[in-house]
């Protein structure tokens, strides 16, 4: 047993750090570390830098332009990225639809879509959830009726993250209503500029526009945009979900948030002393950091198993639950650290160009909003209840 990185892995980490030192734009890192808003342009600028470095597609085979990293290397990259304040990658193209196209798509689809994902030409979003199909995804109702060389799509998708920026959407649609729910689903790639598609923003409780509803009215989609076989979409969807689940634990993000919290608590004042010196508050921080340490090792154990040729199984569901609870606990403490200043929402201070005086701590403005926003962590990507169902079924056999 050895829980340390090998010399090769340490060399890789040094290489990653050197690259981030030199290539990560300071304004973007400042935004990420201070929980400020990122624009579409920020995401695209960083995507281009990664693309030129050849480090954008870490889950793809080399023949399609991927980079051949081991699971441990991917993990190191993830940790360093979070530490440096790299924007969280928008996963829908590169890490979600691309693996599906690579595994189940035809040659034409690979030739068309993969280079455009790599170059950043296409921005993908995910058409899975519907108003009536959340945890029970297989009950989805968006209908695609075959009409010669195309499908006619009608219905509504929801919770579409950053759909307002996307020009492509991958959708689960119902192509057969005569069979069991899981057996009548197909996987379509749809151009968002097709007539009949409407994107409507959903504003979340923190006032942000991150998610959307997408309406389809008689949208014509060429049959050649179907991935794999008709009515076999559920298989592809599940394959994609395993990719979604990896990384949802957000261990690297929690580590970055923890370091942010400790800095914050050393600047905030209680009884004339830094808050970090307050016994009860420092013990609260300590408890979460200890949980985070345990989750970090659990994460490494899963990665090591995958490195040895295994597939991440239901263990990643357990880690998703723990990891999201830890991140929410960190957000809770950050909000508590600023005391009464959790109440004001000084939105102007979220702007990087803000030159006025800060109401309290320079990083206080987004903290309450972020606490509320991150309640989503235990809901999305398969709610924590669904993850527990998976564990009880797959591991415990209950």
As a whole number of angstroms, the distance between CA 155 and CA 130 comes to 9
In this complex, which beta carbon is closest to other proteins, that of residue 57 or of residue 275?
275
Q: For residue 155, how many C-alpha atoms fall within 13 Å in the half-sphere facing its CB?
A: 23
Interface with other proteins (CB under 8 A), residue from 4, 177, 193, 280: 280
Shorter beta-carbon distance to other proteins: residue 85 or 127? 127
Residues that contact other proteins, how many (by CB under 8 A): 51
Q: How is residue 365 annotated by DSSP?
A: T
Query: Is residue 182 within the footprint of other proteins (CB under 8 A)?
Result: no
Nearer to other proteins, 78 or 244 (CB): 244
Q: 79 or 349: whose CB is closer to other proteins?
A: 349
371 binds other proteins (CB under 8 A): yes
* 129 is an interface residue for other proteins by CB under 8 A: yes
H or E element, residue 315: helix 315-337
Residue number, 216 or 371, with CB nearest to other proteins: 371
Q: By CB under 8 A, which span of 5-13, 292-300, 304-312, 366-374 interacts with other proteins?
A: 366-374
CB of 346 to other proteins, least distance (A): 5
Is 265 exposed, middle or buried, given 0-12, 13-18 or 19+ CB atoms closer than 10 A? Answer: buried
What x-and-dash track marks residues 249-268 binding other proteins by CB under 8 A?
-------------------x
Closest by CA position to 253, among listed 295, 206, 298: 295
Question: What is the Cβ-side half-sphere exposure of residue 83, based on CA atoms within 13 angstroms?
Answer: 11
Q: Residue 271, Cβ neighbours under 10 Å: how many? A: 8
Task: Give the residue with the Cβ less far from other proteins, 2 or 279.
Answer: 279
Per-residue contact track with other proteins, 65 to 84, x per CB under 8 A? --------------------
Tokens of 316: 């990643």
Q: Which of 214, 163, 169 is nearest to 188 (CA)?
A: 169
Q: What mask of x and - would describe binding to other proteins in positions 290 to 329, judged by CB under 8 A?
A: ----------------------------------------
- Give whole-number Cα distances, 359 to 344, 365, 378, in Å: 9, 8, 31
If phi > 0 it is left, if psi is from -120 to 50 it is alpha, else beta; for residue 238 that is: alpha
Tokens of 146: 């075959």
DSSP string for residues in 98-129: HHHHHHH--HHHHHHHHHHHHHT---EEEE--
Binding residues for other proteins restricted to 152-171, rule: CB under 8 A: 158-159
Decide whether 222 or 339 has the Cβ nearer to other proteins: 339
Binds other proteins by CB under 8 A, chosen from 84, 92, 123, 341: 341
Does 199 participate in binding other proteins (rule CB under 8 A)?
Answer: no
- Residue 210 has, within 13 A of its CA and on its CB side, a CA count of 12
Single residue of 4, 271, 309, 397 touching other proteins by CB under 8 A: 271
- Pick from 173, 161, 165, 159: nearest CA to 216: 173
Q: Does 141 bind other proteins (CB under 8 A)?
A: no
User: Interface with other proteins includes 35 (CB under 8 A)?
Assistant: no
What is the binding site for other proteins (CB under 8 A)?
Answer: 129, 132-136, 139, 158-159, 202-207, 211, 268-272, 275, 280-281, 284, 335-336, 339-347, 359-360, 368-369, 371-372, 375-376, 378-380, 383-385, 388
């Amino acid at each position: 047993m050895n829980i340390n990185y090998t010399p090769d892995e340490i060399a890789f980490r040094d290489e990653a750090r050197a690259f981030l030192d030199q290539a990560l734009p300071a304004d973007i890192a400042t935004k990420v570390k201070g929980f400020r808003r990122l624009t579409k342009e920020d995401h695209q600028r960083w995507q281009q830098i990664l693309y030129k470095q050849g480090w954008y597609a870490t889950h793809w085979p080399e023949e399609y332009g991927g980079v051949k990293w081991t699971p441990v290397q991917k993990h190191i990259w993830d940790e360093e990225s979070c530490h440096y304040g790299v924007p969280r990658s928008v996963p829908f193209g590169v890490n979600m639809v691309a693996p599906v196209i690579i595994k189940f798509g035809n040659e034409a689809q690979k030739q068309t879509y993969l280079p455009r994902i790599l170059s950043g030409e296409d921005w993908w979003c995910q058409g899975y959830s519907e108003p009536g199909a959340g945890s029970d995804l297989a009950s989805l109702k968006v209908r695609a009726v075959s009409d010669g060389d195309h499908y006619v799509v009608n219905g509504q998708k929801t919770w579409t993250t950053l759909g307002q920026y996307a020009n492509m959407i991958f959708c689960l649609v119902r192509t057969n209503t005569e069979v069991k729910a899981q057996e009548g689903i197909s996987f379509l790639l749809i151009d968002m500029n097709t007539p009949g598609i409407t994107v409507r923003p959903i504003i979340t409780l923190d006032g942000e526009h991150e998610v959307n509803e997408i309406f389809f009215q008689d949208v014509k989609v060429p049959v050649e945009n179907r991935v794999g076989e008709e009515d076999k979409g559920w298989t592809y969807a599940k394959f994609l979900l395993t990719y979604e689940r990896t990384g949802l634990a957000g261990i690297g993000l929690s580590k970055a948030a923890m370091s942010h919290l400790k800095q914050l608590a050393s600047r905030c004042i209680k009884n004339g002393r830094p808050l970090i010196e307050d016994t009860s508050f420092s013990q609260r921080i300590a408890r979460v950091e200890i949980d985070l340490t345990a989750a970090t090792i659990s994460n490494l154990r899963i990665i090591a198993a995958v490195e040895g040729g295994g597939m991440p199984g239901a263990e990643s569901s357990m880690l998703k639950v723990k990891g999201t609870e830890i991140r929410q606990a960190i957000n809770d403490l950050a909000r508590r650290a600023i005391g009464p200043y959790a109440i004001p929402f000084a939105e102007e201070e979220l702007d990087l160009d803000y030159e006025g005086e800060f109401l309290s701590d320079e990083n206080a403005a987004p903290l309450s909003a972020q606490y509320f926003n991150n309640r989503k962590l235990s809901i999305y990507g398969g709610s924590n209840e669904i993850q527990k169902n998976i564990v009880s079924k797959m591991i415990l056999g209950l």
